[in-house]
Structure 1
């Protein structure tokens, strides 16, 4: 029996699973596609949402939505691939589909598929005509509110300068983790019975509609599971090999057994987990090693080989369809003891064997953690992987309890989701995210009398003056603080209106019955149904803002090496003709990320100001906003719309995609960078605040080196760090991969929250990664 807790052991597929894996690789879509939902079969020409909404126009929207979701699955042909143990496959992409981010989505590109050729014009016209029916709230109120805040008769389109430059409001991803514990311990049928009991007693029309919609979803989900048995039955009928025939018959019986009843075996629990994850658009599955472990523990005593095969099958499905995040390790809430178990290590070893970008995995680390878990993670990084992400229990759990009032047992049960946001699984909706706010743009307004330098006309912030008007640094800081207060209020108001869109659109209807308190309250998950309803604000440009303020304080006000008028001229000219001043700003002023007290204190001050300010506001889900920073490639895009900054950065250059320093700013080594990050007020950033950690492969080549990395990461996580996402490569490899992509198909990197093969990145994203290694 292999000891998967050892880095020396490697998981190997059985011969039959090796065949299954090879066939899966032939079907698997590229990384970008798996980050979305188009991992199913080719479009099939069917129109379930159109059919339901046209044939039942008299019914309320939530009922039609629920009926449409169920119909979209029921008209999809049940699928089981050769020699597999798990049944199920995603729906084909169709012109209308639903997603937990916003509700119903219109996908006009699907109409170009041959299966829709005969109805393309008709469906295109219907898509436009029926738009109000598909979207009860299209965001007109949000647009009107933003116009009233910023547009004037002189500048009627001023608000167009905000989107993607200063902020993004109203949410865009919407990840949450449903309660898989409830699904597996109670089963679909028991939750359906509770829904019907609550419906029978309810008198409020809004809640009646919510219960009816959930009833339709649950009944439809169970019926659909039964239907999946036919795929396995067909396989068994056509199979002559008695071993495979039995395999298929068992799969079919599983489907019938778990359609409405709770699973009794690990095989059944894994199948039901996968089925529900399909309906949940392959979103995050939370602490999978915890809720599946009681089933797994029993299964390995009966047939270890098959238990491992089921685990491999589930992980393979999660790989093929791009599950966004799985959390393992951590603490057992009931005892406070280490939660890592044999399933934890087996799942990590399978991910290691696949050397894959999906499923993304995260490990929770604490002082009681089995040290072999972090050692295995370091081993995986040394082999070129960027998973797993590491999360600090010692930072996150007290922050949830002390700053946000989360009950200790729930705080100890937190999980990661999406691209490293944090949540209480099955019990919360933290927005993920309610919006993005670019601090560097706020400073741009502060130094330019409230105006965007790309426009220099419309006043978007407060007209408090230019850098030339601030006699002291305190004057400048006070003006910056006033801009933060002014813009944060408007930002949170717009985020709330945006979240009302999700609530009206029932975006998370499939998640709702399996999220605690939704049925009790009679509210959908986006409408305040979840037990915890905090807000989450992704924060862009914090290091650029802090370094700019540090440079101004030191070079303009303290040392007087650059005058205020000269700095104004240099910024306005994007440093053209002011290279001497730019070099002073770049090299004489200290930068965050180098364990420098002056620079680090400014970074703390900037984040504490903003994250304390947003905490004054509550989301429509009823609880305070929290800070976060996991920007995907947002640091690139917000940088494109942010003018030259006083840290020496040119207009349009990247801001950075994590809470760490701007690429190239940290020059004192990795330990110094981690020390700087660990000083930040991350207890206010429980939305999920990740740090990009670059580890050259040359530093991981021996056991002693890997142990040093392990100790460094452990120290970071237990001394104030929150989340770390890893990229291991060498600069030469990255440069060569850009020039010769065909030679580097297995080079995996991390970009602001998700893993991807380097060669699948756009050129500007490749350049941003290379810049991290060029410091």
Structure 2
């Protein structure tokens, strides 16, 4: 094991010396550029905007850095991207520093600069265009919390991995020459040649701008070297300058140059657009030849190589973005989801493990930081030594690595039309989303679809808070048996999935028209050949991947209704609904009505002619939900007893009980089979996923009490995990339940969280148990699993005394974050997860 160098802790201390800050520099520069390029093709405007930003932004080399390239002046700062959305930020200026999670500092000067820049963008953002494109019914469903497409609705898309290998092998110079050749070979009699030429010209502008950015870094490194008195640091800065004068414009010649080239690409992608989940993916494969050349052949020691790698790991954590306050409850902890994966197999089906695979795991152990989101691919020929090394890192309590099964993911991708060779080369984007690097525009995290909310609306005959937003599939008193209820639920699911598709495609078109990304597209296969950006469908593979959330809650609820209402006849469905409406007796139950006008309290004496006209119009347009027949349940008295009946009498998902496990499987399939029927504007298909990031918390806020015994407003189940506390038969039983789901159809990813007390993984026996657990789960065709190895007591102490636990990193969902930076609702969700022991 290579020890951590003293430099690494110094870099970490500098990075986390203060709260991150909002900066206005990029917003001001892109606004100036757009004003200068009015009436030019949008893709050209985007390229020139990137050029202006890279030529004028403030560049810094942080103390002791060996890998350079900043996105902001302040460590972990955030730039602003007004072309996607901006009104929400201005509305929240005075709350940014007072948030309960993801706090940012913002000066009055920055507020003024941003407000001035935002004046230009009214009517020009992707967010505004997407809103105009959506159907009214879609907007109603979003407002009700049935689904959210906020990820790309307010921000850039991201969720991609470019062809880093190509950049390292041919440099940006080689890519530029390829574009120039394609431009020269265009047939100007072809009507598409006009748009193709614009894209290729924009690509060349962008690539040249990045080469100049690297040389600017070289210049400031030289300047710093001239001003430095220490001989060692002077030599380091001179080497940094030499690196940046060569890469990424030219092919990398060694390990150090490869890391520097990689980082400049990684940084500029996120300067061009604020889409997160820009994922390195199979880093140990495309960087290994450079590692092998230098380390194994003796021109660099293993210790020197590990220090450079550790420096890069710290640098990943310098990337940040600001989200609206509501989104911090779904994406808490400043996450950027830069997923880096090791292991697995080669494109020819051989084991891909190499020394760099181990060094990457070591880097995460050394730095103990949230980024990168480290993952590992497992198949039947994965060496036990690599799995044991992963286990050693897991029991550090960082929530990494996440474990993925080649045996499920490769055929799942083939089923979506991806070739076997490409499928074998998959990596993970963001949280848990499989993708072929450098060839795919996957649009993962395209939406979060609240499945328990749809069941709630079904029980209300298409109404939500008195307003009809769904289909009228039947009054609850008219359902004669469970099957009729399930049929109604299926109809509502199909209806709302169609609205979800409308929302996603609207946002997709908005990005295509207003935010093409020529630099990103330069490094994605087929874009140059097709003469299209990835936003226009230029990638080899095109998908849209929305996520279903809360399958355990929906399945457990349906099982409770089936058993308690229709089989055991403990109560009627109307009586159960009355209990749910009262939040199990915690709130007064009121009949729902969609009327916006309260006729019982209408002030007739003061009614004017104008208001009378408005009243008549309202009465003509409104639809009133019929008042339900009164029931005999005393909710205040019986509510909690009924809740306990629902929890304890009915089997729950996660305990290896076939009846409920297969019902949850069916709920997931209803969603997945409906989603995959649709196509997107880029010529690709929709593919479903089953993971929430941490949107299970925010989706729970929009969902009333459910028949699984869940209180209103509390979190939904996390991913495909059982509901917290309901899996009582141990970790193996929970895995057996989750493995019964059809993970192959959920090709956009499934997420399973497990939490272990540290004692469960102690010693060699603990590592052996963890290895057996992972392999056993994957043998049953589970797709993914990740572990929090930390005690509930430590989490509670960190919540009470955050200053003492500033460095505590935990697994949130498909990512890790500093626990104390999370909103309290997310902290509580993590604490509540079942703590397992073998």
Q: Taking structure 1 as reference, are residues 492 and 352 closer, same or farther at Cα in structure 2, changes over 3 Å only?
A: same
Pairing 1:286–2:281 present: yes
Secondary structure of the structure 2 residue equivalent to 1:324: coil
The question of whether the paired residues in 1 share the 8 Å contact of 2:739 and 2:781 is answered with yes
- How far the C-alpha of 1:636 sits from its partner, in A, is 0.9
Residue 468 of structure 2: aligned partner = 459
Q: Taking structure 1 as reference, are residues 653 and 324 closer, same or farther at Cα in structure 2, changes over 3 Å only?
A: closer
- How far the C-alpha of 1:590 sits from its partner, in A, is 0.7
Pairing 1:753–2:814 present: yes
- How far the C-alpha of 1:46 sits from its partner, in A, is 8.5
- How far the C-alpha of 1:195 sits from its partner, in A, is 1.4
Alpha-carbon distance in 1 for matches of 2:79, 2:342: 38
Residue 318 of structure 1: aligned partner = 316
Q: Taking structure 1 as reference, are residues 613 and 672 closer, same or farther at Cα in structure 2, changes over 3 Å only?
A: same
Q: Taking structure 1 as reference, are residues 659 and 107 closer, same or farther at Cα in structure 2, changes over 3 Å only?
A: same
Pairing 1:657–2:718 present: yes
Aligned match for 1:61, one of 37, 42, 50: 42
Q: Taking structure 1 as reference, are residues 219 and 719 closer, same or farther at Cα in structure 2, changes over 3 Å only?
A: same
- How far the C-alpha of 1:642 sits from its partner, in A, is 0.7
- How far the C-alpha of 1:369 sits from its partner, in A, is 0.8
Q: Taking structure 1 as reference, are residues 63 and 116 closer, same or farther at Cα in structure 2, changes over 3 Å only?
A: farther
- How far the C-alpha of 1:721 sits from its partner, in A, is 1.2
Pairing 1:573–2:553 present: no
The question of whether the paired residues in 2 share the 8 Å contact of 1:24 and 1:320 is answered with no
The question of whether the paired residues in 2 share the 8 Å contact of 1:102 and 1:501 is answered with no
Pairing 1:410–2:422 present: yes
Structure 2: tracts of 5 or more residues without a match: 97-103, 271-275, 321-335, 586-634
Q: Taking structure 1 as reference, are residues 663 and 510 closer, same or farther at Cα in structure 2, changes over 3 Å only?
A: farther
Alpha-carbon distance in 2 for matches of 1:198, 1:170: 37
Pairing 1:189–2:169 present: no
Deviation string, structure 1 residues 380-415 (Cα, Å, up to 9, x no partner): 2222221111111111111111x2121011111111
The question of whether the paired residues in 1 share the 8 Å contact of 2:70 and 2:267 is answered with yes
Q: Taking structure 1 as reference, are residues 710 and 257 closer, same or farther at Cα in structure 2, changes over 3 Å only?
A: same
- How far the C-alpha of 1:517 sits from its partner, in A, is 1.0
Secondary structure of the structure 2 residue equivalent to 1:68: helix
Residue 739 of structure 1: aligned partner = 800
Residue 609 of structure 2: aligned partner = none
The question of whether the paired residues in 2 share the 8 Å contact of 1:329 and 1:365 is answered with no
Residue 330 of structure 2: aligned partner = none
Alpha-carbon distance in 1 for matches of 2:573, 2:339: 50
Aligned match for 1:162, one of 142, 148, 160: 142
Aligned match for 1:124, one of 107, 115, 128: 115
Q: Taking structure 1 as reference, are residues 505 and 631 closer, same or farther at Cα in structure 2, changes over 3 Å only?
A: same
Pairing 1:297–2:292 present: yes
The question of whether the paired residues in 1 share the 8 Å contact of 2:221 and 2:240 is answered with yes
Moved more, 424-433 or 502-511: 502-511
Deviation string, structure 1 residues 554-588 (Cα, Å, up to 9, x no partner): 12112222222322322232221233322221111
Secondary structure of the structure 2 residue equivalent to 1:80: coil
Alpha-carbon distance in 2 for matches of 1:384, 1:96: 31
- How far the C-alpha of 1:644 sits from its partner, in A, is 1.3
Please provide the CA RMSD for this pair: 2.8
Alpha-carbon distance in 1 for matches of 2:540, 2:261: 24
- How far the C-alpha of 1:174 sits from its partner, in A, is 3.3
Moved more, 702-711 or 241-250: 241-250
The question of whether the paired residues in 1 share the 8 Å contact of 2:556 and 2:664 is answered with yes
Secondary structure of the structure 1 residue equivalent to 2:300: helix
Aligned match for 1:473, one of 482, 501, 507: 482
Pairing 1:221–2:210 present: yes
Residue 675 of structure 2: aligned partner = 614
Equivalent residues in 2 for 1:312-711, closer than 5 Å:
312-321=310-319, 324-401=337-414, 403-452=415-464, 455=465, 457-576=466-585, 577=635, 578-711=639-772
Residue 26 of structure 1: aligned partner = 14
Alpha-carbon distance in 1 for matches of 2:311, 2:730: 41
Pairing 1:277–2:260 present: no
Deviation string, structure 1 residues 463-513 (Cα, Å, up to 9, x no partner): 112332211111111111111222212221221111111222225433111
Q: Which runs of 4+ in 1 moved over 6 A?
A: 93-96, 103-106, 109-120
Equivalent residues in 2 for 1:145-156, closer than 5 Å:
145-147=134-136, 149=137
- How far the C-alpha of 1:703 sits from its partner, in A, is 1.6
Deviation string, structure 1 residues 209-266 (Cα, Å, up to 9, x no partner): 2222211111111121122111221132223444443332222122112252111111
Q: Taking structure 1 as reference, are residues 353 and 554 closer, same or farther at Cα in structure 2, changes over 3 Å only?
A: same
Alpha-carbon distance in 2 for matches of 1:22, 1:170: 37
- How far the C-alpha of 1:279 sits from its partner, in A, is 0.5
Alpha-carbon distance in 2 for matches of 1:198, 1:106: 41
Deviation string, structure 1 residues 719-745 (Cα, Å, up to 9, x no partner): 211111211111222222222333433
Alpha-carbon distance in 1 for matches of 2:446, 2:151: 4
Pairing 1:267–2:280 present: no
Secondary structure of the structure 2 residue equivalent to 1:666: coil
Alpha-carbon distance in 2 for matches of 1:752, 1:191: 37
Q: Taking structure 1 as reference, are residues 141 and 705 closer, same or farther at Cα in structure 2, changes over 3 Å only?
A: closer
The question of whether the paired residues in 2 share the 8 Å contact of 1:96 and 1:107 is answered with no
The question of whether the paired residues in 1 share the 8 Å contact of 2:310 and 2:366 is answered with no
Residue 3 of structure 2: aligned partner = 12
Residue 242 of structure 2: aligned partner = 253
Alpha-carbon distance in 1 for matches of 2:766, 2:248: 50
